[in-house]
C-alpha cells in the first residue's frame, strides 16, 4: 500500500531526536525541528522533531494531545513558538505558495451548505489558481466517488459524504503533502474503509499523507508509520507493528469480583501470567503479563474451586493509559 518510509520504520525512535531525512531539503515534504507551540501558558506542542516522507503517517494521541495544533503549524496556519517547520524546504507560515503543494483537511464538519460539491471544489480549484478549475473539480470528485451527486447541495449530505467533499477540495490540485485532522471521525465502517482506500491510493501515487486520530486501530489499519503524541510531546514514533507489540506486551491491571476472591487469588498464584495481585475492599486486583494467558487460567481456576465470576474488568485499557505507559518507558 504505502511507500516505504525512511529511517525509523523498523522500531521506535528515541523521543524528540528523530534524525532528518537524507534527501535534499526541498524534497522532504515535512520536517519538524524541535517545534513548540504554546497559547498563553498552555503548551500545545512541546519540542517535537520528526521528518515525514511519502506514504501514510498516523499521528496518534488522545484528545488534547496537540495533534490539531501540530497539523495547523505544519500547514503554515500557525507560527511556531519555538523550533522550525519546513515544508518542501520552506517555512510555510505566511507563505501562500505553500498551498501549491500542501492541503489541509480540517476536522470541522462544516462546509458551505448552500453550494454543491462541484461549486465548492471548483471554487477551491480557482482559489488555488488552477487553469481549468471545473475540470479539476470533476476529476477530484470522481476520485472520491462524489461525481454522481456533484449537483446536490452539500447541506443535505451525510457526514461521510461531507468528508469526501472536503477531501476532494483538498486533493483538487494534487498536493504532494496532505494533512488530515481526524478524517475518520464519525464515519461508519463502510465509509471508514472507503476513506482508508482513498488515503492508500493517494500514498501509492507518491503523496505524503499525514492524518491524526485518537484510535489505534484506525492508525494501524492504514498508516505505515506512527507518531504518538501525548500532552504535546512526541511519545514514540515508528512502525505500527512495533507500537502494537509495545502496547499489548506491557503489564496489565485487571479487576476481578467473584464469589470468593480470596480462594480465587490463591488458585491464580501459580499462574505464570499473573505477576502480582492485591486483595482489598472486596475486589481482587491482578497484575498480568498478557490478557490471553489470564483468559485461559481464570475460568479454569474458578471452575475448579466452584467460584462464580461476577466481573472481570481491565483497568488500564484506555488510550490514555497506553500513552502514559509509552511516555514512562
Partner 1 sequence: MSAPRVPVGADQAAHVGGGTAARIAALLQLTAARTLRPVPLALAALLAALPLLFALMFRSTGGDESALASFLLARYEGLVVTLLLPLTALLTAAGAVSAEREDGTVLYLLTTTTSRTLLAVVRWVFATVVTSCVVTVSVVGTGLIAGGGREPTGVMLAFVVGSMVGASVYSALFLAMAVWLRRALLMGLLYVLLWEGVVSNILPVVRYLSARQVLLGVTHGLVHEAERGAETFASAPPGGVSLAWAVGVTLAALGVTIVRLRRLPLARAH
Least distance (Å) between residue 200 CB and partner 1: 9
Is residue 16 a contact point for partner 1 (CB under 8 A)? no
Is residue 39 a contact point for partner 1 (CB under 8 A)? yes
At residue 58, φ and ψ (nearest 5 deg) are: -95, 135
With respect to partner 1, which residue has the nearer C-beta, 24 or 328?
24
Binding to partner 1 (CB under 8 A) within 186-205 occurs at 197-198, 201-202, 204-205
With respect to partner 1, which residue has the nearer C-beta, 107 or 316?
107
Q: Which stretch binds partner 1 (CB under 8 A): 166-174, 231-239, 277-285, 313-321?
A: 166-174
Is residue 139 a contact point for partner 1 (CB under 8 A)? yes
- Give the residue from 290, 295, 298 showing the smallest Cα distance to 267: 298
With respect to partner 1, which residue has the nearer C-beta, 137 or 267?
137
Cα–Cα distance for residue pair 249/182, rounded to 1 Å: 27
Chain centroid offset of residue 221 CA: 10
Helix axes 133-143, 117-127, angle to 10 degrees: 120
Per-residue binding letters, 86-125, with partner 1 (x by CB under 8 A): --------x-xx-xxxxxx-xxx-xxx-xx---xx-xxx-
Least distance (Å) between residue 159 CB and partner 1: 14
Cell of 75: 500547514
SS3 state of residue 290: coil
At residue 217, φ and ψ (nearest 5 deg) are: -60, -35
With respect to partner 1, which residue has the nearer C-beta, 68 or 273?
68
Cα–Cα distance for residue pair 55/189, rounded to 1 Å: 23
With respect to partner 1, which residue has the nearer C-beta, 38 or 283?
38
Cα–Cα distance for residue pair 180/67, rounded to 1 Å: 10
SS3 state of residue 291: helix
Q: Which stretch binds partner 1 (CB under 8 A): 68-76, 234-242, 256-264, 292-300?
A: 68-76
Q: How many chain residues bind partner 1 (CB under 8 A)? A: 57
Residue 270 class from Cβ within 10 Å (0-12 exposed, 13-18 middle, 19+ buried)? exposed
SS3 state of residue 135: helix
Q: Which stretch binds partner 1 (CB under 8 A): 9-17, 167-175, 250-258, 294-302?
A: 167-175
Alpha helices in the chain (DSSP H): 67-74, 117-127, 133-143, 159-171, 189-204, 216-222, 240-249, 261-268, 291-304, 319-328
Residue 29 class from Cβ within 10 Å (0-12 exposed, 13-18 middle, 19+ buried)? buried
Residue from 28, 52, 78, 230 that binds partner 1 (CB under 8 A)? 78
With respect to partner 1, which residue has the nearer C-beta, 25 or 79?
79
Least distance (Å) between residue 170 CB and partner 1: 8
Is residue 64 a contact point for partner 1 (CB under 8 A)? yes
Helix axes 117-127, 159-171, angle to 10 degrees: 30
Find out whether 31 and 25 touch, Cβ atoms under 8 Å.
yes
Is residue 143 a contact point for partner 1 (CB under 8 A)? yes
Is residue 206 a contact point for partner 1 (CB under 8 A)? yes
Q: Which residues bind partner 1 (CB under 8 A)?
A: 39, 44, 63-64, 66-69, 72, 75, 77-79, 94, 96-97, 99-104, 106-108, 110-112, 114-115, 119-120, 122-124, 126-131, 133, 139-140, 142-143, 169, 173-174, 176, 197-198, 201-202, 204-206
Amino acid at each position: 500500500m504505502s511507500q516505504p518510509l525512511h529511517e525509523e520504520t523498523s522500531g521506535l525512535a528515541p523521543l524528540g531526536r528523530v534524525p532528518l531525512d537524507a534527501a535534499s531539503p526541498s524534497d522532504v515534504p515535512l520536517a519538524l525541528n524541535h517545534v513548540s507551540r504554546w497559547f498563553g501558558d498552555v503548551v500545545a506542542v512541546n519540542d517535537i522533531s520528526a521528518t515525514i516522507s511519502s506514504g501514510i503517517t498516523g499521528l496518534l494521541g488522545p484528545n488534547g494531545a496537540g495533534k490539531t495544533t501540530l497539523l495547523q503549524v505544519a500547514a503554515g496556519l500557525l507560527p511556531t513558538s519555538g523550533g522550525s517547520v519546513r515544508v518542501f524546504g520552506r517555512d510555510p507560515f505566511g507563505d501562500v505558495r505553500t498551498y501549491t503543494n500542501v492541503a489541509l483537511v480540517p476536522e470541522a464538519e462544516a462546509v458551505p451548505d448552500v453550494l454543491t460539491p462541484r461549486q465548492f471544489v471548483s471554487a477551491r480549484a480557482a482559489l488555488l489558481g488552477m487553469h481549468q478549475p471545473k475540470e479539476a473539480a470533476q476529476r477530484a470528485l470522481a476520485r472520491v466517488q462524489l461525481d454522481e451527486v456533484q449537483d446536490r447541495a452539500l447541506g443535505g449530505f451525510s457526514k461521510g459524504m461531507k468528508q469526501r467533499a472536503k477531501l476532494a477540495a483538498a486533493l483538487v490540485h494534487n498536493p504532494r503533502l496532505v494533512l488530515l485532522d481526524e478524517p475518520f471521525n464519525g464515519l461508519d465502517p463502510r465509509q471508514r474503509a472507503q476513506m482508508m482506500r482513498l488515503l492508500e491510493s493517494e500514498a501509492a501515487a507518491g503523496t505524503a499523507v499525514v492524518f491524526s486520530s485518537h484510535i489505534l486501530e484506525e492508525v494501524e489499519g492504514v498508516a505505515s508509520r506512527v507518531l504518538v503524541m501525548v500532552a504535546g510531546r512526541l511519545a514514540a514514533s515508528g512502525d505500527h507493528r512495533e507500537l502494537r507489540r509495545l502496547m499489548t506486551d506491557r503489564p496489565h491491571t485487571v479487576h476481578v469480583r467473584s464469589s470468593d476472591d480470596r480462594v480465587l487469588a490463591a488458585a491464580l498464584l501459580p499462574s505464570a501470567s499473573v505477576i502480582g495481585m492485591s486483595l482489598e475492599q472486596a475486589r481482587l486486583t491482578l497484575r498480568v503479563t498478557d490478557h490471553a494467558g489470564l483468559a485461559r487460567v481464570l475460568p479454569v481456576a474458578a471452575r475448579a474451586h466452584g467460584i462464580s465470576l461476577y466481573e472481570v474488568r481491565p483497568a488500564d485499557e484506555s488510550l490514555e493509559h497506553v500513552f502514559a505507559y509509552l511516555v514512562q518507558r
